[in-house]
């Protein structure tokens, strides 16, 4: 199918984008990589009357290391982030998550900000952002605000972004040295959306017990789900396979999966339990290597 008619704007600066969003707000959509929005428009599941193209705004496309933070402009391409030495050196979890996003052609166009703003509950980057404790920088007519990933995702394909607001930057805190990481998932074919995915971070204390831990599921609820009970059970514990199995069971109970054409809710819970165990094992191995 072809999209419904729309008016196309190609602004050259951020101020112009914000002014257009202010003017056309609820009837407008920013166009980033178009890898989700364009198919939705072609199926007429999205019918914006105004399309505001962000692809001519270089000030939104950057990746830079700041003090303790990796700052990624919303229009940085997923492929650039995956290849970036700065990302590899500071937030390798992001690289592992990015490699699971669709296929290379999609990642060449798709943007980091677009994936997070789109808020697909099965997507990898929102889960990675939540696991890392990222902050989302938002600009709009009422000024700038910074929202923790924890508060950003409110439902399937729904965030706290107002129609006249733009996500401009994702700020990933750089995990402390020695933090292990893993992003694992099960999908029907490589490149498909995850049936379930897990992002995990593990930091070990001097005595080898778990000091810091973060476990987030995707494809297992209306938003990425932080497995808080599993995390609480792991903090201060020895990193044994038995503990990780228990954490997997806890996380599976915290998940809120739905049944759909791809998998039943029960299957998703079972997969979540296994993936949490595997992700924690890998993250712990890497934490030991990085000490």
- In 131-258 the beta strands, taken as DSSP E runs, fall at 135-140, 143-148, 153-155, 158-159, 166-173, 180-186, 196-204, 210-218, 225-226
Provide, rounded to whole angstroms, the least separation between the CB of residue 165 and ligand FAD.
Answer: 7
Q: Which is nearer to ligand FAD, 137 or 281 (CB)?
A: 137
Q: Which is nearer to ligand FAD, 182 or 213 (CB)?
A: 182
- CB crowding 67-90: b at 16 or more within 10 Å, else e: eebbbbbbbbbbbbbbebeebeeb
Provide, rounded to whole angstroms, the least separation between the CB of residue 177 and ligand FAD.
Answer: 28
Provide, rounded to whole angstroms, the least separation between the CB of residue 274 and ligand FAD.
Answer: 20
DSSP single-letter state for residue 145: E
- Beta bridge partners of residue 181, listed in sequence order: 201
Q: Which is nearer to ligand FAD, 82 or 254 (CB)?
A: 82
Provide, rounded to whole angstroms, the least separation between the CB of residue 83 and ligand FAD.
Answer: 16
Q: Which is nearer to ligand FAD, 32 or 276 (CB)?
A: 32
Provide, rounded to whole angstroms, the least separation between the CB of residue 121 and ligand FAD.
Answer: 10
- CB crowding 248-269: b at 16 or more within 10 Å, else e: bbbbbebbebeeeeebeeeebb
With contact defined as beta carbons under 8 Å apart, do 23 and 11 qualify? no
In 3-state terms, what secondary structure has residue 90? helix
Provide, rounded to whole angstroms, the least separation between the CB of residue 116 and ligand FAD.
Answer: 8
Q: Which is nearer to ligand FAD, 111 or 282 (CB)?
A: 111
Q: Which is nearer to ligand FAD, 118 or 226 (CB)?
A: 118
CA dihedral 114, 117, 123, 127 (to 10 degrees): 120
Which residues have CB under 8 Å from 26's CB, separation 6+?
A: 163
Provide, rounded to whole angstroms, the least separation between the CB of residue 37 and ligand FAD.
Answer: 3
Q: How far apart are CA 247 and CA 164, in angstroms?
A: 41
What tokens does 265 get?
């809710």
Provide, rounded to whole angstroms, the least separation between the CB of residue 109 and ligand FAD.
Answer: 6
- Write out the residues near ligand FAD by the rule CB under 6 A: 29-37, 39, 74, 101-102, 106, 110-111, 113-115, 117-118, 120, 123-125, 161, 166-167, 193
Q: Which is nearer to ligand FAD, 2 or 206 (CB)?
A: 2
Q: How far apart are CA 83 and CA 87, in angstroms?
A: 8
What tokens does 174 get?
């750089």
Torsion angles phi and psi, residue 104, rounded to 5: -55, -40
Q: Which is nearer to ligand FAD, 100 or 213 (CB)?
A: 100
């Amino acid at each position: 199918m072809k999209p419904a008619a729309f008016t196309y704007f190609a602004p050259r600066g951020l101020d112009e984008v914000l002014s257009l969003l202010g003017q056309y707000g609820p009837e407008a959509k920013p166009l980033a990589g178009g890898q989700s929005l364009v198919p939705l428009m072609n199926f007429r599941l999205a019918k914006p009357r105004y399309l505001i193209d962000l692809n001519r705004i270089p000030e939104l496309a950057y990746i830079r290391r700041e003090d303790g933070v990796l700052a990624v402009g919303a229009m940085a391409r997923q492929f650039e982030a995956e290849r970036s030495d700065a990302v590899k050196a500071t937030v390798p979890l992001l690289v592992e998550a990015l490699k699971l996003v669709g296929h290379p052609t999609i990642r060449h166009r798709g943007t980091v900000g677009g994936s997070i703003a789109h808020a697909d509950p099965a997507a990898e980057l929102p889960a990675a952002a939540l696991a890392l404790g990222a902050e989302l920088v938002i600009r709009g007519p009422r000024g700038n605000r910074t929202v923790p990933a924890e508060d950003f995702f409110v439902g399937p394909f729904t965030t706290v972004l107002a129609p006249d607001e733009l996500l401009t930057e994702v700020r990933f805190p750089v995990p402390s040295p020695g933090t292990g990481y893993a992003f694992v998932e099960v999908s029907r074919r490589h490149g498909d959306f995850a049936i379930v995915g897990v992002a995990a971070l593990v930091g070990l204390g001097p005595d080898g017990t778990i000091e810091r831990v973060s476990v987030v599921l995707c494809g297992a609820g209306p938003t990425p789900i932080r497995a808080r009970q599993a995390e609480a059970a792991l903090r201060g514990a020895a990193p044994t396979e038995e503990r990780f199995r228990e954490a997997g069971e806890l996380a599976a109970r915290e998940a809120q999966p739905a049944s759909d054409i791809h998998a039943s809710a029960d299957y998703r819970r079972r997969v979540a339990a296994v993936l949490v165990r595997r992700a924690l094992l890998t993250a712990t191995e890497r934490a030991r290597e990085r000490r």
